[in-house]
Amino acid sequence: MENYLREYLESVGIVDGITASSLSCEVCGCDDNPVLVREVETHAGCFTELPVTGCGHCGFLFQNPRFNKSFYETYYNKYYRLMMFGDTQPEKDFLVDQVRRGEYLCRYLADVLPPAGRMLDVGCSAGGLMVPFARRGWSVLGTDPDIGYAEFGNRRLGLEIQAVAAEDMVLPDGEFDLVIITGSLEHVFDVNRVLEICRRASKPDGLLLVEGRAFGYGIMKGCFSHNHRRYLTATSTELLMLKHGWAPVWSTSEAICGPTRPGAVYVLGRASAPLGREQLESAIGDGRRDDLASLRERLASMKGAR
Q: How confident is the model at residue 86 (pLDDT cuts 50, 70, 90)?
A: low
Q: CATH top-level class for 92-291?
A: alpha beta
DSSP state of 233: -
Delimit the domains of the chain by residue range.
Answer: 3-85, 92-291
Model confidence over 43-72: pLDDT tens digits? 888 999 999 999 999 999 999 999 999 999
Model confidence over 267-288: pLDDT tens digits? 999 999 999 999 999 999 999 9
What is the arrangement of strands in the sheet containing 61-63, beginning at the earlier edge strand?
A: 35-43, 46-54, 61-63
- pLDDT at res. 31: 97
Model confidence over 203-260: pLDDT tens digits? 999 999 999 999 999 999 999 999 999 999 999 999 999 999 999 999 999 999 999 9
Q: How confident is the model at residue 30 (pLDDT cuts 50, 70, 90)?
A: very high
Element (H, E) at 4: helix 3-12
Question: Which phi-psi region, left, alpha or beta, contains residue 95 (left: φ > 0; alpha: ψ -120 to 50)?
Answer: alpha
Judged against a pLDDT cut of 90, whether residue 148 lies above it is answered with: no
Q: Phi/psi of residue 74, each to 5°?
A: -65, -45
DSSP letters of 44-103? Answer: TTEEEEEEEEE-TTT--EEESSEE-HHHHHHIIIIIHHHHHHSSSS--HHHHHHHHHHHH
Residue 209, classed as helix, strand or coil, is strand
- Residues of the chain with pLDDT > 90, as a percent, come to 88
